[in-house]
Structure 1
Amino acid sequence: MQDFKYKVFYSVAKNLSFTKAAKELFITQPAVSKHIRELEKYFGLRLFDRDANKITLTPAGRTLLKHSEELLKIHRQIEFDLNLLKNQTAGNLRIGASTTIAQYVLPPLLARFHQAFPDIQLSLINDNTENIQRAVLQEHIDLGIIEGKSRKKELKYTFFLNDELVAITHYHSQLAHLQEISLQALSRYPLVLRERGSGTLEVIEDALQQEGLSLSDLQIAMYLGSTESIKSYLAHANCIGIVSISSISKDLLAGKFKLIEFKDFSLHRTFEFVRNQGDSQGLAAAFMDYARQNHNF
């Protein structure tokens, strides 16, 4: 198939080695060379410059590399969709997600998944990271999607997305003049944060600890159970909140809130899938593959 030639080209281009590509694809080196020659003949252009034991991409090769990445991605999506239709067209999938993910990340993805596979019945619960992990362990849900850094040895964690926590205040707040703030300077301003057990608070605590600080060093006005509660609180108080960038982007564009840049530090984290150890197949694994290939955030 022509797509395999692109796969061979992609492997050679990424490794800049015919030998490594042969090992990666479990074919012989002469077979690799044959596929590359056929592609070069088809396009009428050299894809690699060969100099002794070193190869480099030509301009044509760099162009093909860019497009072959997209071609292979489309091919994987076709295989996924057709295999899912063939093997798993129906069933129930219980998903649990930490609050930020459930409110701001998953809804459009769940809608697209349901449209593509209407016979798969989806259900979603949202809670903080600690409780979602507990629900997975107790098999109340099939798949969790969480934030934060906590780990339980009985569970398996798989990367999903990168996220960033940012500081905000309401546009009409007396603190809206602030342009940036250091981690140490946070202690001079009243803060409203997510509750204990949340992945958001866990990331903040970890950043403080690295600077020799703790939550007790901060002026915490309120702990609240959701990002929406924090935003509502900020609309009526001269405080700073720390929330996920994915939860506030539309409000920033609308001019409701002011973003305060962190000075000399950042609060990055990952969103991760979490399953019981040994669970590697079924609808949970299929949804993970779909989510990784179809998110647009």
Structure 2
Amino acid sequence: MNYDALRTFVTVVEERNFTKAAEKLILSQPTVSLHIKQLEVELQTHLLSRSPKHVQITPTGQILYQRAKQIIQLWEKTKEEMGDYLHTLRGFLKIGASLTIGEYILPMILTSYHEQYPYVQLEVVVGNTQEVVQQVRSHQLDLGLIEGHTQEREVKVSPFMEDEMVFVVGASHPLAQQKPNVSLESLQNQVWIAREKGSGTREYMDHLIRKWGLQLKDILMISSNQGVKELVSRGIGVTCISRWVVQKEVDRGEMVMLSVFEQPIVRTLSYVLPMQTDLSRSGQVFLECLIDKSKI
């Protein structure tokens, strides 16, 4: 049974006139007549009684009219649902993120992304920068978000935002009493609390220590931001860490930011993609969302 013929039949019944039906459907009148004839031949019954002025529907035509209306409505609903499906972002996206990004920055981006694209299945793997880069390189992740640099040549690295790095101590630490300004000399011979090797935060802290020629009294390593914060808040030592990580503790008075320079110290956060693989549409849209939210 031809859908167009059913649509023509319903329009003729509702307009009660072949000519008006033809005009409404933007068809020729012979085409309208042909559609009706095809239905009558297939169903082996007269569907319409024609008169010079009007068209009357027969009892069997009434049965077809009711079913044809249902069929047309169902078909239009089906097309609408198919269109929604084809234009709705779907799929699976596996993202890797270094700890600071994964714990403090990525959640707000994922919230926005999921609200807009609820049919994309997301999985997030959190590790240090080195681990994320290696998993992107080996195609275990669709994309990665990192804090540090990488020398890996088999990935593409692009910046997406700047991250302010701050020096912090616990409220009971002697340096906390020197606020708001602390000299670079005051950072000499201190105990430092550091993330593990391979961490982007550790890499940047080591860079600053070398750059400024700081001598360390001791260094304590721990492989989580929360562990770093716990040690620092107890007054054990100094750390250099993303402002995102310690802002709440500073606001609560548990930690103190040390002002060493007039200008803020910033590093670049980047996203990493496999070199030879095209990112899926869901991944491309995620990056657009990431870059848009990073402007805030």
Work out whether the TM-score is over 0.5: yes
Partner of 1:4: none
Runs of 4+ in structure 1 over 3 Å off: 84-88, 180-185, 208-211, 263-267, 278-281
User: CA offset at residue 118 of structure 1?
Assistant: 0.7
Change (3 A) 1:264 1:184: farther
Aligned match of 1:11: none
- Secondary structure of 1:104's counterpart equals helix
> How many residue pairs align between the two structures?
211
What is residue 230 of structure 1 aligned with on the other side?
A: 228
Structure 2 partner of 1:290: 289
More displaced 10-residue stretch of structure 1: 235-244 or 264-273 = 264-273
Q: 1:146–1:199: 8 Å Cα contact kept in structure 2?
A: yes
Partner of 1:102: 102
Amino acid at match of 1:205: D
Shift of 1:230: 1.0
Counterpart position of 1:178: 178
* Residue in structure 2 matched with residue 145 of structure 1 by the alignment: 145
2:143–2:273 CA contact under 8 A, matched in 1: yes
Shift of 1:206: 2.2
- Give the structure 1 partner of residue 216 of structure 2: 218
1:197 correspondence with 2:195: no
The 1:85/1:290 distance shift into structure 2, 3 A limit, reads farther
Is the Cα contact below 8 Å between 1:163 and 1:271 reproduced in 2? Answer: yes
Amino acid at match of 1:154: E
**Equivalent position SS for 1:150:** coil
1:135 counterpart residue number: 135
Structure 1: distance between partners of 2:85 and 2:267? 34
What are the Cα deviations for residues 239-258 of structure 1, in whole angstroms up to 9, with x where unaligned?
11211011122222222211
Aligned-partner residue type, residue 136 of structure 2:
V
Cα deviation digits, residues 87-132 of structure 1 (max 9, x gap): 5611000000000000000112111211111110001111110010
**C-alpha distance 142-182 of structure 1, shift in aligned 2 (>3 A):** farther
Aligned equivalent of 2:159: 159
SS at match of 1:121: strand
Change (3 A) 1:183 1:156: farther
Q: Distance in 2 between matches of 1:127 and 1:160?
A: 19
Q: Distance in 2 between matches of 1:86 and 1:246?
A: 38
Note the 1:85-100 alignment, pairs <5 A.
89-100=89-100
Superposed CA RMSD in Å reads 2.3
Shift of 1:185: 3.9
**Secondary structure class of the residue paired with 1:159:** strand
Cα deviation for residue 86 of structure 1 reads: 5.5
Say which SS state the counterpart of residue 89 (structure 1) adopts: coil
Residues 251-266 of structure 1 mapped to structure 2, 5 A cutoff:
251-263=249-261
Which residues of structure 1 form unaligned runs of 5+?
Answer: 1-83
The aligned counterpart of 1:13 is none
Partner of 1:19: none
Q: Which range is displaced more, 273-282 or 135-144?
A: 273-282
Offset, 1:285: 2.1
Output one character per residue of 1:145-192: Cα deviation in whole Å (capped at 9) or x when no partner: 001122311110111110121111112333311323444542322111
* Distance in 2 between residues matched to 1:249 and 1:280, nearest whole Å: 37
**Aligned pair in 2 of structure 1 residues 278, 88: CA closer, same or farther (>3 Å)?**
farther
Is the CA contact (8 Å cut-off) linking 1:190 and 1:219 kept in structure 2? yes
Structure 1 residues 139 and 207, CA, compared in 2 at 3 Å: closer, same or farther? same
SS class of match (2:241): strand
Residues 19-58 of structure 1: pairs in structure 2 closer than 5 A: none
